Chains A and B, each alone.
Chain A
Amino acid sequence: MAEPFLDSSSDYVDRALAGFALDHRDIVDLHDNPAFVRAKATAPGRRVGLVSGGGSGHEPMHAGFVGAGMLDAAVPGKVFASPHNRQIYEASRAVAGPDGVLHIVKNYTGDRINFGIAAERLAHDGIPVARVLVDDDVATESEKTATGRRGTAATIVVEKLLGAAADRGDDLDSLAKLGSLVASASRSVAVASLAHTSPVTGELAFPLPEGEIEYGVGIHGERAAQSIARPPLPALVSRMTTEVLGKLPAGDRAIVLVNGLGGTTSIELYNVFALVAEALHGRGVEVAGSLVGTLSPALDMKGFSITVTIPADDWIGLWDAPARTAALRK
């Protein structure tokens, strides 16, 4: 048992948000009731406000990617729970540009519905709104449900590329189309060797036998569809990279995210990244952009995800464009 350092008698999500906004007071403002984080600065040429959001427990996503060059606002829910439509609606009203607002939504039922309700309200107010749905997790591809692939760390790639495109003055339709292209050119897969600790009970969310890992785990503490005997790291990374590449269009360059799930050290993540780069190189694909770190965790789960985006010609320029957010600066 590893009890989190949280005061369970308080609203620790709100308190974390207040701490985050104070730490990054040069970049963001915190709006209270309803709660959302808003960028202090945005490019003068930006015509569309970019808004994302989702459950808490995935920090720095999304508030950490609010700021010049990326999101105009982020809307946090409670731990692993979608934000309320009112938060999304009011954040969108606050940052809508002359061409309206674009919602970047991870594919979960609650997020789809709440962003959808907010979009109906914005349309009612005459504010143009469009949505980019991110559904990158290959582990959920074959499920026999109508829900489709989950959205995970590729959201950060979408937020970065769309932020740069918004800064050059792209209109709402162009951004929505680009976002859809980036989402469909991005896939991820995640593994874990230890579940996250429940902030409520202090217990691990699920048991895992010695020597096994969860292959295809999600970011809400849900178990993967399969547990596998733990292979050596190079073999594991090679298998994951191969599986992700197999779901993507052919290309000779890649934007790569190696994302810690919360309980994974930098030395582990950089080992993984070096092995991903090797695996890609072996298949004739070179790393053209990358981000390594704890970007979209599942609280303190010990594990990591690999995201690969096969970029179109002008996406590398968008990836390298300036950004000034709490979690990503370029």
Chain B
Amino acid sequence: MLMSTYLEAAETAHAALTRIDQAAGDGDFGDNLRGGLRGVVAALPADAGLTTEFTVAGTYFLDEVGGTSGPLIGLLLQNVAVSLGRDGETDAALVAGLEAGTAAIQRVGEAVVGDRTMVDTLAPTLDDLRTSGDPVDWAAIAGRALEHARATASLSPRMGRASYVGDRALGVPDAGAMGIALLFWALASRSSSLAFPSELASPSEPASSSEPASSSELEA
């Protein structure tokens, strides 16, 4: 199942995601992504199709996952679920759902390309998808998504908690952007065997970050 693969990726990358998020944000992204996907996989029936996977995952990330990025990922997944449910489980419907979900994330999060957020993976990867043809070459797309995510290392944060550390975030990619690259990695792993992004495969597991922040210590 897609979400099981995404969870395996989040487990493997947990230490690295926590480390890069600690460099620029509050360090909870690895916990939130892994915790959310653990909950999703536990809630999914064994015979779930792609639409059900995205439906359950969307609701779980919206309702149960902390941080700001968790519910925003929920919006992305929910929009994919709507598109798959309406148009069938095709590549075209998947891409249309990712488009709608990215638009929702940008409406709500008010981030544009270059703000060093998950949008910096989503928006350029969608550009790649528009020229990728049908069926989509998911392995190539996953590679492009990873490149886009890595490129956030040269971006200065403007949104979210990371904006408080400013240029000190430079040199490290955005954790949310990398987490979205892993979604594309999981999508590609349905049909081909892909190497795991080397910088996210950490041999040692550090202590979990402190208690996950609620979304909105951002309020102040």
Contacts and interface: CB of A to CB of B under 8 A. Distances in A.
Contacts of A111: 216, 219
A81 B214 contact: yes
A311 interface: no
6 contacts: A81-B217, A82-B215, A108-B220, A109-B219, A114-B71, A116-B108
A114 B215 CA distance: 8
SS class of chain B's interface: helix, strand, loop or mixed?
Answer: helix
Nearest to A119: B108
A220 interface: yes
Leading 8 A-B pairs by shortest Cβ distance: A82-B216, A110-B216, A110-B218, A220-B220, A116-B108, A110-B219, A82-B219, A108-B219
B72 interface: yes
Interface residues of A, number: 30
Given A85-B215, A86-B62, A112-B110, A117 B220 contact: no
A80 B218 contact: no
B68 A110 contact: yes
The size bracket of the interface on B is 20 to 34
A146 interface: yes
B104 interface: yes
B137 interface: no
A303 interface: no
Interface of B: 62-64, 68, 71-72, 74-75, 78, 82, 104, 107-110, 158-160, 214-220
Most chain B beta carbons < 10 A, residue from A89, A108, A109, A111: A109
Contact of A117 (B71, B159, B218): B71
A114 B216 contact: yes
A78 B215 CA distance: 10
Most chain B beta carbons < 10 A, residue from A78, A82, A111, A113: A113
Contacts of B108: 113, 116-117, 119-120
Contact of A146 (B62, B75, B78, B158): B158
Interface string A76-92: 01101111111001000
A54 interface: yes
